[in-house]
């Protein structure tokens, strides 16, 4: 593995590539804030970022953000409003891509950010949905980022905070009234998992430089399907790295 | 005139009784009324229900201090650091005591407050379909393919703003989260502000007035009252402070030490601020909005 | 960049086809987009559905000119003068042709737009219980002791504001009526503005930006485009003009004469304004809002 | 009849007296705007005016208002907001008193501002509810002002835009889910009609100076009940008249 970038920097670069030019992106906390900044500065100059706190931006904030509500994210915003207005756009299908963080994900892309174990007396109480459930249900497509560990990529999440493809059966989302298309990628510290068109079970699409398919499979809590076309994830380019380091100069998100 | 202006101790004493349902942290990450929360802890309020979308670390602190019976929220933790350790201990070990949790998403908590603001039993939405949150929160139900979100009516909303006048006309700017619907949904509103200003300032821009003054019960001049959360035009977020809190609150003993240092052994916000370096956090680059002309004749 | 800026004729040509559902007059009495309405009449649009709470005389004019198939509104008339004579003729005598009316109250039309904004089929309310409006409007029904107000989704909202930039960030101030929910509910938004300003003006105050720019399809610089309705900071309401319209529109012939004088025989707003004395209506006493500091570092 | 004031001026003075100090008043168009100004300048200095356009005020506007959205009503307002927020306060029972104009009223206080005759082919199409239906259903109590003519005070309105006491049966409003208490007065050009506590049928409470009970009854489209304590309406005081003329200097509302 190259020493020239961290796993988080690679994840940010991969996440940025998920953003298409012109997309309205519902930007989550932490790495996605950087991913938006990187994309906006390279291949997606017409993207718009929507933040649940109640902001829309074009240009990324000019200074480091610890949270999406930090003052540099407000200065120069295109809209400072109420959360429900940002959610209204997403409920109308006007959000092309959302990012969600998760503590646990299963093979069908269901995320748990609420309870590990029985909700009535959990082993671990996680912080909860925030906007995650909203994004998973309402955005047109979404991506999650996660550290690749067997305790995080699990056979079955103990609580579905943010639904992916449910039980994996065809048409599960539509049958249950979920508006958006569902997850398109799980970007981890080891590789990128994707989903078949129309949803279903995740498969390994690419492995990060320095890692192997077997290693990824070993760190996954279910029997991982691997694409015939599995490839090596493209490393961050010089310009992606420069962008990342400009927006996270102290490495708060990408070097800790 | 001016009878609404009081100290934080007076405002909490008068408007936050034991058992109250209180909404706070309503702009999400910015403008969190930490000074009010700390005074609630000092006055040893009990059995509170906390309502809010994301409170950053304030809900965690109130829970750790034993003030809280129920949390009705979308997220409880520490935004830049992750898990809320006091919240974990309460839910996992009933330390300091058991906690009831009514899980929401950000959108659904907003709708619960709009339902109360408009005085209807519930509002419908497509969000949460397919989520197990529907299983654990008794205030959510499904009918005709839509989720019905039951109204949440706080007794009081506590809101920190940039400036307010003595009659309770408050100007806040930056993203507003659920501040507006929470204020309208609540029986009363307690305002804390960076600056107490003349009514000529607030009334110069009635569009920026956040709430009807008839709902505002108290105005507390409390500069720095949102630290460590950010206040547009006044203070940056204190990320290091959040990190320190996250580390120290990992254990009960650590949390108790933190609580003594920053809350229990401090009489008020002015003393609290002496322990930090406000100038390092103060925003020094000004970006005044271009005025709007409210000329009428 | 700048592709949204166009003339009113272009904006109506591109974004208001025959049969469209259009929302306008959304701030109630102020900021009514009369210039847009007159261009719609000049371009002879037909079968429109008009959506709004109270349009002052604009809806009456569009109806009289034969552009309208259906009105979904709380009130159609002339605010200072009373009845809308073209509206009466359409409903009572099918002149110039029959008109379908979906009656609302002010509150219920707002809720119909919020329902569309939030993409739910309907929203509940206690208003209209006991009113015969429930009998005549098929978009209202009663269930479980609440009125269900069906979503109304305009194809386009047309909004006049004080200032906007070329990318569609619009600043409006004064009372906003249902402007915000109508904009969010609509597929697209057409802005007309007193002043086209640099983005440094609009972005200096993102809280005053009324709509997400992603919804704004056109920006029409149209000073005086709301005459005879008032524009805070720019123009007083022209009461005498409303009175004159009320008198002349009592008869079909009178209305047709009025329409020729003020709409059909006038190519655009600039020519229209030559027939009035804008300086007599211009607001000369300025009341600038005290800036808010959006400083961030 | 004294020549020193017009019937409209008397109506404004009577309407102003309905406003109690501290009331939140939902102020309708035309005469109620003046009534609010008069009350605020005399016995109700702590009243607040709420305007459906999206405004709250304490002081009356400093200049003549043709509509509630005129610029002088905005300058110095305590709140400039959306209509739905003003309606929210009313739906919560926070509006003490509302004013509604009407074209027709019946003995139970039901108002018609929509259709005279069959709504499918009306004899007269009136402008509609505006906020009238909302005020009639949601405000704690309300008052209407009307020219006293047999075609306006009718046995039964052909369309109930804004419900009063419905069919007049006890508990009609509560039974039908109406939040507020209903109408308390009909102020006309000839007298003041009031309702019994708890609602029901209107009765004549006072007759304006220069008019008689018989005259009022003759101009009423139903058999009018008359209070045993029927009195003469107090004429506008000097100070009420001064106030009215200050806010309507050209007599736009009160002398035309």
The residue whose two tokens read 């057409």 is C190
A191 close to A206: Cβ distance less than 8 angstroms: yes
* Nearest Cα to Cα of residue D155 among D86, D188, D113, D202: D202
The angle that helices C34-42 and C8-15 make with each other, rounded to 10 degrees, is 70
The arithmetic mean of pLDDT across residues A137-158, rounded, is: 97
Q: Cβ contacts of residue D47 below 8 Å, gap of 6+? A: D19, D20, D21, D22, D23, D24, D25, D36, D39, D40, D58
Contact yes or no for C124 and B123 at CB 8 A: yes
What average pLDDT does the segment B95-107 reach? 98
| Six token digits for residue B125 | 């939405």
Contact assignment for C105 to D178 by CB distance below 8 Å: no
D230's tokens: 């029927």
Q: Give the distance between the most distant pair of CA atoms in chain C.
A: 65
Q: Given an 8 Å threshold on Cβ–Cβ distance, is D79 in contact with B211?
A: yes
Q: Give the pLDDT mean for C220-238.
A: 98
Nearest chain A residue (CA) to B57: A127
- Identify all chain B residues contacting C162, using CB atoms and an 8 Å cutoff: 292-293
D119 touches chain B (CB under 8 A): no
Q: What is the pLDDT, as a whole number, of residue A3?
A: 53
On the 0-12 / 13-18 / 19+ scale of CB atoms within 10 A, D149 is middle
Nearest to D127 among C75, C106, C136 (CB): C75
Instruction: Using DSSP, state whether D24 is helix, strand or coil.
Output: strand
**Cβ contact (<8 Å) for D85 and B184?**
yes
Task: Indicate yes or no: CB of D160 within 8 angstroms of CB of C73.
Answer: no
Q: Residue B221: is its pLDDT beyond 90? A: yes
- What total of structural domains would you count in chain A? 1
> C127–D83: do the CB atoms touch at under 8 Å?
no
φ and ψ of B10, to 5 deg: -65, -40
Residues whose CB is less than 8 angstroms from the CB of residue B146 and which lie 6 or more positions away in sequence, other chains included? A177, B124, B125, B126, B129, C120, C121
Asked if the C-beta of D151 comes within 8 angstroms of chain C's C-beta atoms, the answer is: no
Strands D24-26 and D97-101: parallel
The enclosing H or E element of D56 equals strand D55-57
Write out pLDDT tens, residues D137-175. 999 999 999 999 999 999 999 999 999 999 999 999 999
CA B257 to chain centre: 23
Residues of B in Cβ contact (< 8 Å) with D92: 117, 119
Q: How many CB atoms lie within 10 A of CB C122?
A: 20
CB contact under 8 A, B296 and C290: no
The predicted structure's pLDDT at residue D3: 53
Asked if C212 is an interface residue toward chain B (Cβ–Cβ < 8 A), one would say no
Taking CA–CA distances from C230, the nearest residue in chain D reads D70
Q: Which of D83, D114, D176 sits opposite C103 (nearest CB)?
A: D114
**For residue A79, is it within any domain?**
yes
DSSP reduced 3-state for C278: helix
Residues in chain B within 8 Å Cβ distance of A67: 29, 56, 79-80, 230, 237
Domain B8-267 superfamily per CATH: Glutaconate Coenzyme A-transferase (3.40.1080.10)
Q: How many CB atoms lie within 10 A of CB C48?
A: 22
Residue D83 to residue C177, Cβ atoms within 8 A: yes
Backbone region of residue B214 per phi and psi (left: phi > 0; alpha: psi in -120 to 50; beta: other values): alpha
Domain residue spans of chain C = 8-267
D165 near D197, Cβ under 8 Å?
no
Distance CA C55, CA B119 (A): 27
User: Which residues lie below 8 Å from residue A210, measured CB to CB, with a gap of 6+?
Assistant: A1, A2
Chains that touch A (3 or more CB pairs under 8 A): B, C
Choose the weakest-confidence range: A88-92, A102-106, B20-24, B251-255. Answer: A102-106
C2 band by pLDDT with thresholds 50, 70 and 90: low
Minimum Cα–Cα distance from B283: chain C residue: C297
Residue to test with chain D: of C94, C106, C117, C231, most D Cβ within 10 A = C106
- Chain D residues whose CB is inside 8 A of the B169 CB are 78-79
Phi and psi at residue C258, to the nearest 5°:
-60, -45
Has residue B69 got a pLDDT over 70? Answer: yes
Report the residue of chain C nearest D165, measured CA to CA: C130
Interchain proximity D130–C54, CB inside 8 Å:
yes
Chains B, C: CB contacts within 8 A come to 139
pLDDT for the residue numbered D30: 86
Cβ-in-10-Å burial (0-12, 13-18, 19+) of D171 comes to exposed
Q: Is the pLDDT of residue D250 over 60?
A: yes
Would you call D59 an interface residue with chain B, using a CB distance cutoff of 8 Å? no
Helix (H, G, I), strand (E, B) or coil at D228: strand
Share of chain D above pLDDT 70, in %: 99
D2 part of a folded domain? no
Q: What proportions of chain D, in percent to the nearest 5, are helix, strand and coil?
A: 25, 25, 55
Q: Which residues contact B228 (CB under 8 A, 6 or more apart)?
A: B34, B57, B237, B238, B239, B241, B242, B245
- Please determine, for residue A28, whether its predicted confidence score (pLDDT) is greater than 50: yes
Nearest Cβ partner of D71 from B184, B212, B296?
B296
- Cβ distance C213 to A93 less than 8 Å, yes or no, reads no
Q: What's chain C's length in residues?
A: 297
Q: Which residues contact A112 (CB under 8 A, 6 or more apart)?
A: A102, A103, A104, A105, A126, A157, A158, A159, A160, A161
User: Which residue in this structure is represented by tokens 């005016």?
Assistant: D49
A91 inside 8 A of chain B by CB: yes
Angle between helices D238-247 and D31-40 (to 10 degrees): 130
Q: pLDDT per residue over D109-132, tens digit each?
A: 999 999 999 999 999 999 999 999
Predicted confidence at residue A2, as pLDDT, reads: 44
Please tell me the predicted confidence (pLDDT) of residue D256: 72
Task: Note whether B214 contacts D56, CB cutoff 8 Å.
Answer: yes
Active site residue D52: yes
DSSP state of C235: B
Chain D CB contacts of C131 below 8 Å = 129, 133, 136-137, 160-163
Average pLDDT over residues D216-233: 98
* A79 contacts chain C (CB < 8 A): yes
B145 — contact with chain C (CB < 8 Å)? no
Which chain D residue's Cα is nearest to B120? Answer: D91
DSSP-based three-state secondary structure for C293:
strand
CATH number at residue D41: 3.40.1080.10
Return the exposure string of B120-143: e unless at least 16 CB atoms fall within 10 Å of the residue's CB, then b.
bebbbbbbbbbbbbbebbebbeee
Beta bridge partners of B177: A82
Predicted local confidence at residue D1, as pLDDT: 38
CB contact under 8 A, B209 and D79: yes
Q: Which residue among the candidates D9, D18, D52, D240 is catalytic per the annotation?
A: D52
The 3 state secondary structure assigned to chain B is CCCCECCHHHHHHHHCCCCCEEEECCCCCCCCCHHHHHHHHHCCCCCEEEEEEECCHHHHHHHHCCCEEEEEEEECEECCCEECHHHHHHHHHCCCCCCEEEECCHHHHHHHHHHHHCCCCEEEECCCCCCCHHHHCCCEEEECCEEEEECCCCCEEEEEEEEECCCCCEECCCCCECHHHHHHHCCEEEEEEEEECCHHHHCCCHHHECCCHHHEEEEEECCCCCCCCCECCCECCCHHHHHHHHHHCCCHHHHHHHHHHHHHCCCCHHHHHCCCCHHHHECCCCCECCCCECCCC
CA distances from D130 to C109, C146, D85 (A): 10, 20, 16
Query: Under an 8 A CB cutoff, do A67 and B177 touch?
Result: no
- Neighbors of chain C by Cβ distance (3+ pairs < 8 Å): A, B, D
The pLDDT of residue D29 is 81
Amino acid D200: pLDDT: 97
Tokens of B109: 């908590």
Predicted pLDDT at D102: 85
Q: Check if the beta carbon of residue D159 is closer than 8 Å to that of residue D188.
A: no
Give me the mean pLDDT over the D222-244 stretch: 96
Nearest C-alpha of chain C: how many angstroms from A90?
Answer: 9
pLDDT, mean of residues A17-25: 98
Res. A168 pLDDT band, cuts 50 70 90: very high
| Residue-wise burial string across D28-43, b where 16 or more C-beta atoms lie within 10 A, e elsewhere | bbbbbbbbbbbbbbbe
Cβ pair C176:B207 closer than 8 A? yes
User: DSSP assignment, residue A180?
Assistant: S
State what percent of residues in chain A have pLDDT above 90. 94
State yes or no: pLDDT of B2 exceeds 90. no
Closest CA to C62 of C83, C35, C80: C35
Is residue A30 predicted with pLDDT exceeding 90?
A: no
Radius of gyration of chain C (CA): 19
**Domain hosting residue A204, numbered range:** 7-247
Distance CA B162, CA B202 (A): 11
Rounded to a whole number, what is the distance in Å from the CA of B117 to chain D's nearest CA? 6
From CA D135, how far away is CA B280, in angstroms rounded? Answer: 53
Q: Give the separation between CA B23 and CA B16, rounded to whole angstroms.
A: 11
Residue (of A78, A83, A93) closest to A52 by Cα position: A83
B34-58 pLDDT, tens per residue?
999 999 999 999 999 999 999 899 9
C-alpha distances (whole Å) from A215 to each of A36, A192, A195, A222 are 29, 13, 20, 13
Q: What is the pLDDT of residue B103?
A: 98
Q: Name all chains with 3 or more CB-CB pairs below 8 Å to chain D.
A: B, C
User: Which of C:271-290 have CB within 8 Å of B?
Assistant: 283-290
Place of tokens 């909302």: D134
Q: What is the mean pLDDT of chain D?
A: 95
Q: How many whole angstroms separate alpha carbon C256 and alpha carbon B17?
A: 67
Instruction: Give Cα A177 to chain centroid, integer Å.
Output: 22
The answer to whether position A121 is within a domain reads yes
Under DSSP, the state recorded for C35 is H
Interatomic CA distance for residues B200 and D156, integer angstroms: 51
Mean pLDDT of D237-256: 92
Touching pair D, A by Cβ (3+ pairs < 8 Å): no
Q: Is D63 on the interface with B (CB under 8 A)?
A: yes
Contacts of D202 (CB under 8 A, 6+ apart): D107, D108, D109, D186, D193, D194, D195, D224, D225
Residue C199 at interface with chain B, using a CB cutoff of 8 Å: no
Q: State pLDDT tens for residues C159-200.
A: 999 999 999 999 999 999 999 999 999 999 999 999 999 999
Q: Which residue of B has its CA nearest to A182?
A: B130
A177 touches chain B (CB under 8 A): yes
pLDDT above 60 (res A1): no
Around Cβ C188, how many Cβ atoms within 10 Å? 17
Report the complex ipTM. Answer: 0.97
**D130 is written with which tokens?**
């505006």
Each residue's pLDDT tens digit, C58-96: 999 999 999 999 999 999 999 999 999 999 999 999 999
Q: What is the C-alpha separation between A203 and C280, in angstroms, rounded?
A: 72
Separation of first and last alpha carbons in chain D? 18
Q: Do B127 and A252 touch (CB under 8 A)?
A: no
A256 falls within a domain: no
Mean pLDDT of C135-145: 96
Please identify every residue of A annotated as catalytic: 52
């Amino acid at each position: 593995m190259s020493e020239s970038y961290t796993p988080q920097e690679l994840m940010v670069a991969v996440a940025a590539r998920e953003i298409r030019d012109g997309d309205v992106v519902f930007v989550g906390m932490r790495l996605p804030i950087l991913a938006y900044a990187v994309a906006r500065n390279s291949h997606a100059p017409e993207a718009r970022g929507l933040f649940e706190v109640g902001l829309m931006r074009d240009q990324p904030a000019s200074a480091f953000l610890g949270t999406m509500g930090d003052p540099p994210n407000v200065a120069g915003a295109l809209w400072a409003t109420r959360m429900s207005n940002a959610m209204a756009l997403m409920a109308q299908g006007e959000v092309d891509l959302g990012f969600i963080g998760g503590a646990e994900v299963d093979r069908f892309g269901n995320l748990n950010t609420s309870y590990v174990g029985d909700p009535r007396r959990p082993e671990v109480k996680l912080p909860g949905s925030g906007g995650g459930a909203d994004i998973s249900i309402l955005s047109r497509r979404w991506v999650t980022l996660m550290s690749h560990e067997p305790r995080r990529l699990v056979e079955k999440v103990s609580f579905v905070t943010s639904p992916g493809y449910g039980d994996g059966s065809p048409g599960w989302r539509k049958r249950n009234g979920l508006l958006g298309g569902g997850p398109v990628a799980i970007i981890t510290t080891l590789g990128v998992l994707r989903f078949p068109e129309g949803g279903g079970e995740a498969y390994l699409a690419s492995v990060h430089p320095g890692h192997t398919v077997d290693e990824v499979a070993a760190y996954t809590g279910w029997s991982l399907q691997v694409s015939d076309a599995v490839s090596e994830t493209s490393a961050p380019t010089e310009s992606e790295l420069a962008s990342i380091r400009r927006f996270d100069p102290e490495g708060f998100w990408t070097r800790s | 005139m001016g009878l609404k202006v009081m100290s934080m101790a007076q405002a909490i004493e008068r408007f936050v009784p034991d058992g109250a349902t209180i909404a706070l942290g309503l702009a999400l990450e910015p403008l969190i009324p930490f000074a009010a929360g700390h005074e609630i802890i000092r006055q040893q309020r009990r059995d509170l229900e906390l309502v809010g979308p994301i409170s950053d670390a304030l809900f965690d602190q109130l829970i750790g201090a034993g003030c809280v019976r129920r949390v009705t929220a979308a997220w409880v933790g520490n935004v830049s650091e992750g898990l809320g350790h006091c919240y974990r201990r309460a839910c996992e070990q009933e330390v300091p005591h058991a906690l009831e949790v009514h899980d929401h998403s950000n959108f659904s908590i907003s709708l619960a407050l709009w339902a109360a603001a408009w005085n209807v039993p519930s509002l419908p939405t497509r969000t949460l379909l397919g989520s197990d949150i529907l299983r654990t929160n008794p205030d959510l139900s499904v009918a005709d393919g839509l989720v019905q979100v039951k109204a949440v009516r706080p007794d009081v909303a506590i809101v920190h703003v940039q400036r307010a006048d003595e009659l309770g006309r408050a100007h806040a700017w930056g993203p507003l989260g659920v501040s507006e619907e929470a204020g309208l949904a609540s029986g009363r509103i307690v305002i804390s502000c960076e600056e107490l200003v003349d009514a000529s300032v607030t009334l110069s821009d009635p569009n920026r007035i956040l709430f009807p003054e008839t709902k505002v019960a108290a105005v507390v001049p409390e500069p720095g009252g949102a630290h460590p959360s950010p206040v547009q035009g006044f203070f940056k977020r204190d990320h290091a402070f959040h990190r320190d809190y996250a580390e120290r609150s990992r254990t009960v003993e650590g949390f108790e030490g933190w609580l003594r240092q920053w809350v229990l052994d401090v009489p008020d916000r002015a003393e609290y601020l002496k322990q930090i370096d406000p100038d390092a956090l103060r925003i020094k680059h000004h970006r005044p909005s271009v005025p709007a002309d409210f000329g009428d004749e």
